[in-house]
Structure 1
Amino acid sequence: AEEHCILCGLCTRVCEELVGVSAINVLGRGVEREVGTPYKEPSDDCVGCGSCALVCPTEAIKLAKNIFPTTAEDEREIENRFLDLGAGSKRDEALGVYSDLVAAKSSVVQGQDGGMVSALLVAGLENGFFDSAVVVQRGEGYKAEAVVVEDAAGVRSASGTKYLRVPMVSKIAAALKEGALEEEEKGGKSKSKRRIAVVGTPCEVRAVRKLEREFPGAEITVLGLFCLESFDYEGLKEETRRRFGVDLDRAEKTQITKGKFIVTAADGEVFSCDVRELEGVVREGCPYCDDFVSRLADISVGSVGSPDGFSTVVVRSRVGKRLLDATEFVRGGEFGVDKSEIVKLAKLKKRNADRKFAEILEGLEV
């Protein structure tokens, strides 16, 4: 296929006007004009939805650096490269590729919904599977930021779910460009920092898999989170104040479970509303994402499908299996994971995204 950009502007328009994230623009002048990201740095705004690739008449956008459009063809290539497609694995339309589905609760780490994300990270660090991890940590008030942690204490300080989108990709890219190239002398031997773990939502998982092409020497363990949508910080703060009279920055805990958004105030009082009522503060780009379960991660974790206090863990690769095998946990209940609950939400998210893509295609035909 032709792969030269003709500067038609369709990709930048769909990204700005429909998806709403404005991750790309036309840069430069004259013969140097090109489509790219501000400052030509990895984009924290791109959600990897593939809308730009859908409208590109030459497929040039698929070769652009610093953005991460992921088509169905890209997914197959990533699955073949990173995931376990052996005899014991399954390929499920809703769940993606997986070899095991477990309801689990950490035996050593206390955390939200069983603490399994923290437990997996601690096990990976202590067993030398990776030297550091890029995670999201709550900052001032309810705001959150991406940080690099290197030990169990750092992992525990970042535990708990944050329902905000934060600049993860630039932090990951920095860890790969800088931290991955640094070496520490320990015991007279050089120890590489090119082995890292990343905890992210489906859009961030897609970005990591695309970044891995540019850093073939890096070993990245990808822990994906279940995610239906994320929220705008200011909008969510205003909603919790208006609905519950609670300052989100001072809230003790937030949680989404069984279709409810739950806020625990500083005094212990609990408030809730249907997640659907927060549609007005969902971040731009989320409606165009069709992945609920982080299909391209080594191992995915979420609360849906497991008993209260447990995490659902989806093993997708040999890397993910090794990590789970090294983690101390207890299995949840006699019946394990209710797969139907996960499939229901996964299909809902994909159906909603497909509807958005159909609108884009209809616009092209006008």
Structure 2
Amino acid sequence: MADPGKVEGVPRGVPLLLPGPSMSLLLAGLVLLSLAGQAAALMEGLYCGREVCYDVLGVNRDATKADIARAYRQLALKYHPDRQRPGEKNEEAHEKFLLVATAYETLKDEETRKDYDYMLDHPEEHYRHYYHYYSRRLAPKVDVRLVILITVCAISLFQFYSWWSSYNDAIKYLSTVPKYRIQATEIARQQGMLNKAKGKGRRSKEEMRQEEEEIIRDIIKNKIDIKGGYQKPRVYDILLFQIVLFPYYLFTYVSWYLWWIYTFNIKREEYGDAEKLYLIRKNMKMSEAQFESLEDHRKQTFLERQLWVRENYEVFKREQEEEMKQKMASDPRWKRYRRWMKNEGPGRLTFIDD
């Protein structure tokens, strides 16, 4: 016989939740707590404000992109300002349309939707929500790779134009130097280029002079090898090609470095002229373009002095410094400068009224 007050399958002492007024109050309290937690997650100024974006579109949190897009199209047609009649309801429809558009922009993007769902689930992390919201809104919409590519191309074009300008300036200068101008004029006469220029119909002296200048400059371009910073620009030297060919240059350098170690450090072979000049350039701390611009007889002097040996280079460096000091000591301009510095000095710049 069953004990009174005991329910089968339930241990004695466990309180029972029986249907009635107390049960209804408990359920109502749970619903209110859930709504309060969700309301606490909604912040003014973030996403849909105090509204839930899912409720604005009339979809649940499990809705797919297609469901969200379908709901947005329906509501956009319903609340579009052009479909409303003038009046007070038109303003309400406009506000509703903006809210629907905001909800769609929030939920259509996967990353933004994840941040929004996280805000609904973790309403207490206020600072995190503000950071993610504004970091995505203020983030650049343009692909960073495209910006970098355009920047590199612009720099490369500027480089090439600048180098061509320097090269043309060097050609113009060399055409005024008597040594090179006489040589170029002699070559032009031997090839009959000046006679052809003079025999082209009746022209003014100014036109003939300009054409002769162009012929002389062309000969200087073809016959004189300009080195250093004013050399003829090459496409492979601009930044864009340097970046593209960087893996090849890196592989070439590593291969050369391993060959150097194997040949001269392990096998102990003698340096060739190219290797000696390379070591001399490193001792002088000069770039390849600077070293190539030196005259050949100076390079030959470096080889004769064996400047690839560090000790020999230090002696040569001290000699050059002493020679420079002697030149400066005997130069009248430096004498005047030192006399002026000793007697008057550089002076001072003051703001005191006399």
Question: TM-score scaled to structure 1, two decimals?
Answer: 0.21
Report the structure number with the largest CA radius of gyration: 2
Higher strand share: 1
The TM-score normalised by the length of structure 2 is 0.21
Higher RCO structure (Cα 8 Å, ≥6 apart): 1
